[in-house]
Structure 1
C-alpha cells in the first residue's frame, strides 16, 4: 500500500516533459557560484522512490538505522535530489528534516539557499514553528537568507499568528548581517497582501517604521490588500496617511480604490474619486480608468463621449490607445473622425489626419465645413513656415472667407484646377482636400454628369 502511494506521488516526475517543467525553476538558482560543486544530474526515479520509502517508513527510527539504510544511495544525493524529496512530502516535516540532517554528513553535498528555502517551506506548512525558527537562525548564520526566505518566513509566522516573531525576524536577520532594506519590506508586504494577510503586513510595516521607512510602493500594496479583503475604512486610512507623508497615489492605487468602492455599492464616492483625478491629474488617467468607470456605471458611451476620450488620449500622445477605441466603435460618425483628426493635427501629423479624412469619405461619412477648416488651417500653417524660412513676408489669408466666396458653382472649376496644380508640385494632401470641397459645392447636375463619365 505504501509503495503504491509513493509511486502515485512520484508518477508525474517520471514523465520527462513534466520533470523538465518541475526542475527548470530551480536549475538557474542551482547553477550559481555557490552550487558549482553540485552540478545538476538527472534524477534516478527508482532510487528516488526507494529513498522516499525509507524516509517514510523509518521517520521515527533511530539515526543509526536510518543512516545505515540511506548510506548505499549517497552517490545519488545532490541538491536537485533533495528538492524532489521535498516535493514528495510537501506537508510532512519529519522525513524532510531527518534527510536534511543526514545529507549534512554526506561529504560531496552542500546545501544552499534553494534547498534551505524548500525545507523551510515544508516545515512551515506543517506548522512546526519551533523547528522553523531554529532553521531560520541556522540560515542566518550561514548567510543563505534571501528575499524568498523573508517571504516564506513572514507568511508562515503570519498564518501561525506569531506576530512578534514576524517583526523579530527582521531584527534577527539584521543581527546576522542582512540589513533592513526597503525593497525587502516591500516584497514581504506585497506577498502578505496577495495572501490576504494584510493586517499582518500593516503591523510589520508600522512596527519596523523606525528601522525601515515605508514609501509609496509599501502603501500601494497595503491599500490594495485592504481593498481586496473589502476593508475600505482601513484602506482609506492608509490612503490619507500616504498623502500626509507626501506620496501621491498612483493610477493603479486610484483604480483599486474606485473598483473597491463600486464593489461595495458606493457609487457616489467612486465617482468623486474619479472626478478628482479628472480635475487635478487629467494627464495621468488612461484608457483603463475610463473603462473601469464605464463598466461599473453601465454607461453606454455615445460617439460624442468617445470622441472626447480619443482626442484626450491623442493630446497626451497615446496614439495606440486612441486607435484601439476607434477600432472598437461599430458605427463611427463625424464626431469620432473630428476627434481623431483634431488630435492628430495637434501632434503635427497632418498627413495622417488627411488619411483619416479620406477614410471617412470612403465610409460614407460626409465632411462638414469644420472638417475642411481644421485641415486647411494646418496646411496654411505649413505654408507660413515655409515662407518665413525663405525670408519672405507672409500675406494675410483667411480660409473661412476663401471657402465662403467659392462655395458656389463658379468656384467648382477653380478648385479642380487648383487641385491639379497642387498635385504637380507634390501637395497631394491639400489637393485632395480642396478637390473634395469643390465636389461638395457642385450642383446636382454636375454630380450626375460626373457619375456618368467613365
Structure 2
C-alpha cells in the first residue's frame, strides 16, 4: 500500500528535523506480553544486585550516559541480572532518563543471556519521550526494531510522545514506517496516530491524515469518537456534531460516551439550553444518559452557581431510572450544601446512600465535613470524622483543613486546634504540607497567636518546605508589631535566601 498522499502530507507539516529512516528489516515484533515483572518478589540475591546497581548509578549520577554505563561495567560486571531486577530499577528511576538509559544500555551489552522484557523497552522509550529526549528515543526505537522488539505498544508510546513534543511530522513518519518494522498500518494503529494528534489539539491535521488513509484503512466507531472528542477539545462543537452525522452515515451508532463529550463541551461554554436539547434528542434515539453524564451536567451547573437548576438535573436522573453512584452522591451533597439545603445534604449522606447500598468514600466524608464546617456545625463535623474512622476510612489533610479553618476563626479555640493537630499527626499518621502550614500560620496570626504561628513556621522551614511570600510578610508584620526582634531577623533572612523579595 503506497499511501503517497500521506508521504506528501508529512512533508508539509511544521515539525522538527526529518528522522533518518529505519533499517528495512521485516522482523516480526515481539509477542511477549507487556508485563512489568517488578511486582514479583525478589530473591535475596536479586535484592543485593538491585542495591549494588542502584549505588553504582547514584555515585555516577552527575555524569553522562556513557559515564553511567562505564560505572556499571566497572562495579557490577559480576552481578547476575534478572528481568525482575531490571524492571524494578526502571520503574524506580522516575523521570531520571539518564540513569534509565545508562542502565538499559549496560544491561543490553552484557552478553550473558539477559534480554530486556517488553516492559523495559517500552518504559525507556516512553521516558525518553516524556523528557523530550526525542532524538535519543528515535535512536533507541531503531535499535529495538533491529532486535525485533518493537510492539504496537512501543509505537503507541512513541507516537504519543512525539505529538506531545509538537513533532507532528515525526509522528506521521513513524506511522508511515510501521510495515518496515513488521507491524501493520491498520485501524488500530491509525487510531493511535489520530488520537495522539487530537489530544494535542491538532484536530485539523488529524482530519487531513484521516482523509488520506480512509480509502485504504477502514475506520471504526472509535475513529469517529476520537474526532468528536478532538473537535470538542478545540471548542468546535458544530464539527463534532457533523462527525456524529458522518459516523451514523457510515453505519456506526453513537454511544452515550460520544454524546457526553459534546454535552461537556456545551457545559464548558455554558450553553445549557443546547445541553437540554441534546439530552432530549438522545432520548428520542434510545441513547439514554448514564450517571456519569448526569453528574457532569449537575456539577457544571453548580460551578455556575445555578444550584436549583442543578437539583432539577438530579431529579431528572432519578425519574429516568438511572442508578446513582458514589460520585453522583458526592456531587449532590456538595450541591445541596452550596444551595443552602443542609438538612437535605445530611439526609442524602445518612439515609439515602445507605438505603441504596452506595458506599461512601473519602471524598464523601470530606465533602460532608466541609459543608458542616461551612455552617459552623463543628460538633456534627467531628461526629462525621469519628464515623469515618470507625468505618476504616483514613482521613487525609483535606479532611482536617475545614475543621482547622473553622476553629481558627474563633478566639479561645487553641485547645481544639491543638487537639486536631495531634490527632492529624499521631492518630492519622499525616504530615503537614504547604497549604496546611499556610492555613495554620495565617489563622493563628489573625487570632493573636504569633508565637505559635512562628513555631509552625520554623517547623515548616526545617522540613524544607518553602513558605509563600504572603506568609512571610504576614508573620514579619506580626512579629514586628510585637517587637519579637529575633523572629524578625530570622524571617527577613529567610525572605532573602528563598528569593521571596518583591
User: Contact (CA 8 Å) 1:158, 1:200: kept in 2 or not?
Assistant: no
Using the alignment, how far apart are the partners of 2:130 and 2:317 within structure 1?
A: 54
- Corresponding residue number in structure 2 for 1:299: 309
- Corresponding residue number in structure 2 for 1:179: 184
Post-superposition offset of 1:113? 1.4
Q: 1:138 aligns with which of 136, 143, 163?
A: 143
Q: 1:241 aligns with which of 229, 240, 246?
A: 246
Post-superposition offset of 1:151? 2.5
Post-superposition offset of 1:197? 6.5
Which runs of 5 or more structure 1 residues have no equivalent in the other structure? 1-23, 32-37, 332-454
Post-superposition offset of 1:254? 1.3
User: Contact (CA 8 Å) 1:182, 1:212: kept in 2 or not?
Assistant: yes
Give deviations 1:211-259, integer Å, cap 9, x for gaps: 4322211211332243245443443443343244333321221122122
Tell me how many residue pairs correspond in the alignment: 290
Using the alignment, how far apart are the partners of 1:302 and 1:69 within structure 2?
A: 70
Which runs of 5 or more structure 2 residues have no equivalent in the other structure? 1-33, 334-342, 345-502
Q: Which structure features the higher share of helix residues?
A: 1
| 3-state SS in 2 of match to 1:75 | coil
Using the alignment, how far apart are the partners of 1:145 and 1:306 within structure 2?
A: 52
When residues 162 and 175 of structure 1 are mapped into structure 2, their CA distance, relative to the original with a 3 A threshold, is same
Using the alignment, how far apart are the partners of 2:296 and 2:165 within structure 1?
A: 37
What does residue range 34-45 of structure 1 map to in structure 2 within 5 Å? Answer: 41-42=46-47, 44=49
Q: 1:158 aligns with which of 153, 163, 167?
A: 163
What does residue range 47-446 of structure 1 map to in structure 2 within 5 Å? Answer: 47-59=52-64, 66=71, 68-70=73-75, 72-87=76-91, 89-106=93-110, 107-186=112-191, 189-190=194-195, 202=207, 205-278=210-283, 280-282=284-286, 284-286=288-290, 296=301, 298-299=308-309, 310=319, 313=321
- Corresponding residue number in structure 2 for 1:7: none
If asked which structure has higher relative contact order (CA below 8 Å, sep 6+), I would say 2
Post-superposition offset of 1:146? 2.7
When residues 146 and 260 of structure 1 are mapped into structure 2, their CA distance, relative to the original with a 3 A threshold, is same
Give the TM-score normalised by structure 2: 0.47
Post-superposition offset of 1:309? 6.8
User: Contact (CA 8 Å) 2:56, 2:71: kept in 1 or not?
Assistant: no
User: Contact (CA 8 Å) 1:227, 1:235: kept in 2 or not?
Assistant: yes
| 3-state SS in 1 of match to 2:113 | coil
User: Contact (CA 8 Å) 1:29, 1:114: kept in 2 or not?
Assistant: no
| 3-state SS in 1 of match to 2:79 | helix
User: Contact (CA 8 Å) 2:129, 2:161: kept in 1 or not?
Assistant: yes
What is the RMSD of the two structures over their aligned residues, measured on CA atoms?
A: 4.5
Using the alignment, how far apart are the partners of 1:148 and 1:210 within structure 2?
A: 25
Using the alignment, how far apart are the partners of 2:68 and 2:309 within structure 1?
A: 70
| 3-state SS in 1 of match to 2:183 | coil
User: Contact (CA 8 Å) 1:194, 1:225: kept in 2 or not?
Assistant: yes
Give the TM-score normalised by structure 1: 0.51
User: Contact (CA 8 Å) 1:226, 1:232: kept in 2 or not?
Assistant: yes
User: Contact (CA 8 Å) 1:97, 1:119: kept in 2 or not?
Assistant: yes
Q: Which has the larger radius of gyration?
A: 1
When residues 203 and 145 of structure 1 are mapped into structure 2, their CA distance, relative to the original with a 3 A threshold, is farther
Give deviations 1:36-82, integer Å, cap 9, x for gaps: xx9x9446453133221254255366799546424x44424333333
When residues 120 and 75 of structure 1 are mapped into structure 2, their CA distance, relative to the original with a 3 A threshold, is same
Give deviations 1:175-229, integer Å, cap 9, x for gaps: 2221123234445555665676656655654453344322211211332243245
Larger deviation, residues 172-181 vs 72-81: 72-81
Post-superposition offset of 1:110? 0.8
